[in-house]
């Protein structure tokens, strides 16, 4: 799937969304928990920083959660920042865990 001009790969075996460039891999890890999908951690190698890749990963992750109809629990500091920039996505968070 193409997000913000980046091709994001869903690696189901590793439970992460990935972007590959020049031998580097940026990723957003997730886990399924009860009825939810939990966003755990976003990691972007130094060589790929500052290009909007983490945002593209977060965008893909929220789209995926919507496609599979699962509320989101967020543990990732980057996704917290992303949510501040995209408050329309807060409605996807599991109200049981999000006290915003």
Report domain extents, the chain.
Answer: 2-92
Per-residue confidence of the chain (100 residues) as pLDDT tens digits? 556 689 999 999 999 999 999 999 999 999 999 999 999 999 999 999 999 999 999 999 999 999 999 999 999 999 999 999 999 999 999 999 876 6
Predicted pLDDT of residue 97: 86
Find where tokens 């790969």 sit. Answer: 9
Backbone CA torsion sign across 60, 89, 35, 76:
positive
Predicted pLDDT of residue 89: 97
Using a cut of 0.85, tell me whether the model's pTM lies above it: yes
Q: What is the DSSP string of 56-76?
A: HHHHHHHHHHHHTT--EEE--
Predicted pLDDT of residue 5: 82
Find where tokens 């193409």 sit. Answer: 2
Predicted pLDDT of residue 100: 64
Q: Which CATH code fits 2-92?
A: 3.40.630.30
Distance CA 43, CA 62 (A): 17
């Amino acid at each position: 799937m193409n997000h913000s001009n980046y091709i994001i790969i869903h690696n189901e075996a590793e439970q992460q969304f990935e972007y590959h460039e020049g031998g580097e891999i940026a990723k957003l890890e997730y886990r399924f928990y009860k009825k939810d999908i939990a966003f755990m951690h976003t990691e972007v190698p130094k060589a790929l920083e500052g290009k909007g890749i983490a945002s593209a990963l977060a965008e893909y992750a929220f789209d995926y959660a919507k496609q599979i109809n699962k509320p989101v629990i967020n543990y990732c500091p980057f996704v917290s920042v992303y949510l501040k920039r995209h408050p329309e996505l807060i409605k996807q968070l599991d109200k049981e865990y999000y006290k915003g």
